[in-house]
Chains A and B, each alone.
Chain A
Amino acid sequence: MKHTISVLLQNKPGVLSRVTGLFSGRGFNIESLSVAETLEPTISCLTLVTRGDEAIIEQITKQLHKLIDVIKVTDISDSEYVEREMVLIRVKAEAQTRAEVLRVIDIFRGKVVDVSPKSYAVEVTGSASKVQAIIDLLKPIGIQEIVRTGTIAMARASKK
């Protein structure tokens, strides 16, 4: 099962390699990883997406928590949450496909952020599945380059 785990950690040199080293050393898998500082500049927030059965996810969260520089570990997918990923896609856009590309971008509420005579660079934000969907649609037209941020996520606030 896919799990999205949010980790608060000390914003110090080498901390990220402690996390990634843990995953490679113990054979856990990382699907995506994204990290940046929080409101408090000494603390970073890392969101990682991983897969595994219950026992593996339990080990992953415990092992992360055991790292001295890790402050808090939350398996966000335990509850309701929002996730977003951004992708930049350079897609072929020649005379016969330019209009088609724009239509697809519009459907996904994407933005054209760079234009050349033969291509568009497009920015799209959404859940991982939405991002995947636009990639799948643009692929037949001709994707030249692609950069994804990996997922970031936040638990939904209590509705009560």
Chain B
Amino acid sequence: MEKISGSQAIIRCLQEEGVKIIFGFPGGAVIDLFDALMDSDITNVLVRHEQGAVHAADGLARVTGEVGVALLTSGPGATNGVTAIATAYMDSIPMVILTGQVPTALIGNDAFQEVDIVGITRPCTKHNYLVKDAKDLVPTLREAFHIARTGRPGPVLVDLPKDIVAKMIDFPEKKPIRMQNYQPTYEPHPGQIEKACKQIIKAKNPVLYVGGGVILSNANEELTELARKLNIPVTMTLMGLGGFPGSDPLSMGMLGMHGSYTANMAVAHSDLLIAVGARFDDRVTGRLDAFAPHATIIHIDIDPTSISKNVKVDIPIVADCKHALIAMNTWFNTASDFNREQVAASHEPWRATIDEWTKKHPMSYLDEGEIIKPQYVIQKLDELTHGNAIITTEVGQNQMWAAQFYKFNKPRQWATSGGLGTMGYGLPAAIGAKMAFPEKTVIDVAGDGSIQMNIQELATAKQYKCPVKVAILNNNYLGMVRQWQELFYNKRYAGTIMEVTPDFVLLAQAYGAVGLRATKKSEVEAVIKEALATDNTVIMDFAIAREECVFPMVPAGKATTEMLLV
């Protein structure tokens, strides 16, 4: 067999894994890999900062379900990627990050652009590797993809010393991967499924609490079937949005710190909480001992460490969400000793109580005439894109308003940094999403603070003719922290006032993009329409009510029923 270089073998591996686009930034240690990429059909997207490369690959992974791939150089290239790797890790996004490394002979010598990236990323990757022998290149890469996409997905980093990728090697044949020490549990235990189903039949006030696991395992249809069949109200975490149609009458929207009044009240009064692919994060539970205090808890998760980590679970089901939900649906379809219609009908009083809560405190905001309310902007975006856009966000108020007021009816149309809360995520993630689906509308909902964290990626968007739209909810504040300062720190706005903010319209033009601005409510619709009709990267700068707060809000450490309302 003809020998090929290590870098050619790596590129062939990527093709074998179905990779079509990779995001990267070159440097001395990865010139060989960039060189080999030139001869392949893989699109190599040159970003402007390595954090952008990894976020873009992450955005692509979230909207497609495929493994996102980023290629960074050694040293600062790799460390610049760390925040984005941690972002993907916290949200369980399947990714492979390739980093260059100094030649093996120099490792440990404090060589130029050397850093122990395997050591640095150990706690923020699902797994990582330093390849020290050229014959391990291909098997390691295959294992990396396998680990990234199976079980609870996550980023896997492979560190590639320059001399190793330059070696000539045989390309080994592909064999099924068997790892003695890594065998995620996909199939649920039938006994646990039966226990859970029987508990569901008994429940009077059940709630489905749906997290990102439902999106990751593509279980939205199975979940929707279960909820509708048994008439069970559904609430979603930030990561779970789109896992169940947001416009469905059974949807109570998001729960937790900025969740709906309805969802938080329903969880607090439920007698059965069915957690599916969610992890009882502190932003969801608030004060732990007051979270779902009357409920029996069923928890489906593929990661055993998520179960009983924060909240004691009564019926744990370690399994892939999709497999578990199929098993539950099958049980309900075939079990003979209960009447499905009767069970569904028995939840009507509970539904009525829930509707009362929604009537009392719907998701709302105060209209103030011509002052632009950020919630209104999101509602208009939803309306004018018919709820079909892919929405990415930065982090802070912009993210919460987008989560609250855009109705996500499908999975994988929502990409936001949930666990880590990384400002600067939205724009590169939008580019990744748009590269994957050029025909779809992709909008980054941003704040004037966070957009500046990776604003340089406008150049990437332009270079690859990637007409993403950025909607900046501009209040000249770091709004979420300002909100906390308003509510809990006597309005002492320490470090949250953006005294200098660039003119985003001019900034867009400087990059060759289009900049639009609205300062009055009556201008919002026209700006959005023009942006959507423009075949170019567009920044929409909305001058919003400066001191608007995100409500409802559960103050940190309080019970989720202790909400501050509009």
Closest approach, in angstroms, between the C-beta of A122 and any C-beta of chain B?
38
Q: For the complex, is A55 an interface residue (Cβ under 8 Å from B)? A: yes
Q: Does A58 contact B (CB under 8 A)?
A: yes
Write out, one digit per residue, whether chain A residues 55-67 have a CB within 8 A of any chain B CB (1) or not (0): 1001100110110
Whether A21 and B123, one on each chain, are in contact in the complex, defined by CB atoms closer than 8 angstroms, is yes
Is B492 positioned at the interface, with any CB of A under 8 Å from its CB? no
- Bound-state CA distance A70–B304 (Å) is 15
Q: Does B180 contact A (CB under 8 A)?
A: yes
- Tell me, rounded to whole Å, the shortest Cβ–Cβ distance linking B419 to chain A: 15
Binds B, one of A10-18, A139-147, A149-157: A10-18
A17-B119, A18-B122 given; A71·B181 CB < 8 A: yes
Encoded as 1 (CB less than 8 Å from any B CB) or 0, chain A from 36 to 71 comes to: 000000000000000000010011001101101111
Q: Are B308 and A58 interface neighbours, CB within 8 A?
A: yes
Q: Mark A1-26, 1 if CB is under 8 A from B, else 0.
A: 00000000110011001100110010
Known: A68-B127, A68-B147. A63 touches B305 (CB 8 A): yes
- For window 110-153 of B, CB contacts with A under 8 Å fall at 118-119, 122-123, 126-127, 130, 147
Interface residue? B529 (CB, 8 A): no
Is A59 in contact with B182, judged by CB distance below 8 angstroms? no
Complex: chain A residue closest to B305, CB-CB:
A62
The count of residues in chain A whose C-beta lies closer than 8 Å to any C-beta of chain B is 20
Which of B130, B181, B308 touches A70 (beta carbons < 8 Å)? B181
Q: Taking the complex as formed, is B32 at the interface, i.e. its CB lies under 8 A from any CB of chain A?
A: no
**B303 partner residues in chain A, CB cutoff 8 A:** 66
* B interface, size bucket: 10 to 19
Knowing A21-B123, A71-B181, say if A14 contacts B118 (CB, 8 Å). yes
Please name all residues of chain A whose beta carbon is closer than 8 Å to the beta carbon of B308 when the two chains form the complex.
Answer: 55, 58
Bound Cα distance A21, B304 (Å): 19
Residues of chain B with a CB closer than 8 A to A66's CB: 303-305
**Cβ of B228 under 8 Å from chain A:** no
Bound Cα distance from A14 to B126, whole angstroms = 14
Complex Cα gap A21–B118 (Å): 13
- Whether B181 contacts A68 by the Cβ 8 Å rule is yes
CB distance from A109 to the nearest CB of B (A): 39
Q: A10-B181, A59-B309 are in contact. Are A68 and B304 (CB under 8 A)?
A: no
Q: Tell me the chain B residues, 169-198 only, with Cβ under 8 Å from chain A.
A: 179-182
Contacts of A71 in B (CB 8 A): 180-181
Bound complex: CA of A63 vs CA of B123, how far in Å?
12
Q: What does the 1/0 interface line of B417-431 toward A look like (CB < 8 Å)?
A: 000000000000000
With contact pairs A10-B181, A14-B118, A17-B119 given, residues A68 and B126 touching in the complex (Cβ less than 8 Å): yes
Contacts of A70 in B (CB 8 A): 181
A59 and B181 in contact, given A14-B118, A17-B119, A21-B122 (Cβ under 8 angstroms): no
| Residues of chain A with a CB closer than 8 A to B305's CB | 59, 62-63, 66
CB-CB under 8 A from B182, the residues of chain A are 68
Q: A14-B118, A59-B309, A71-B181 are in contact. Are A65 and B123 (CB under 8 A)?
A: no
Contacts of B304 in A (CB 8 A): 62, 65-66
Contacts beyond the supplied A14-B130, A59-B305, A68-B182: 13 A-B pairs with Cβ under 8 Å: A10-B181, A14-B118, A14-B122, A17-B122, A58-B308, A63-B305, A65-B304, A66-B303, A66-B304, A68-B126, A68-B127, A68-B181, A69-B181
Q: Can you list 18 residue pairs at the A/B interface with Cβ under 8 Å?
A: A9-B181, A10-B181, A13-B130, A14-B118, A14-B119, A14-B130, A22-B123, A25-B123, A55-B308, A55-B312, A58-B308, A59-B309, A62-B305, A65-B304, A68-B126, A68-B127, A68-B147, A68-B179
Q: Footprint of A on B, CB under 8 Å?
A: 118-119, 122-123, 126-127, 130, 147, 179-182, 303-305, 308-309, 312
Residue positions of A touching B, CB distance < 8 A? 9-10, 13-14, 17-18, 21-22, 25, 55, 58-59, 62-63, 65-66, 68-71
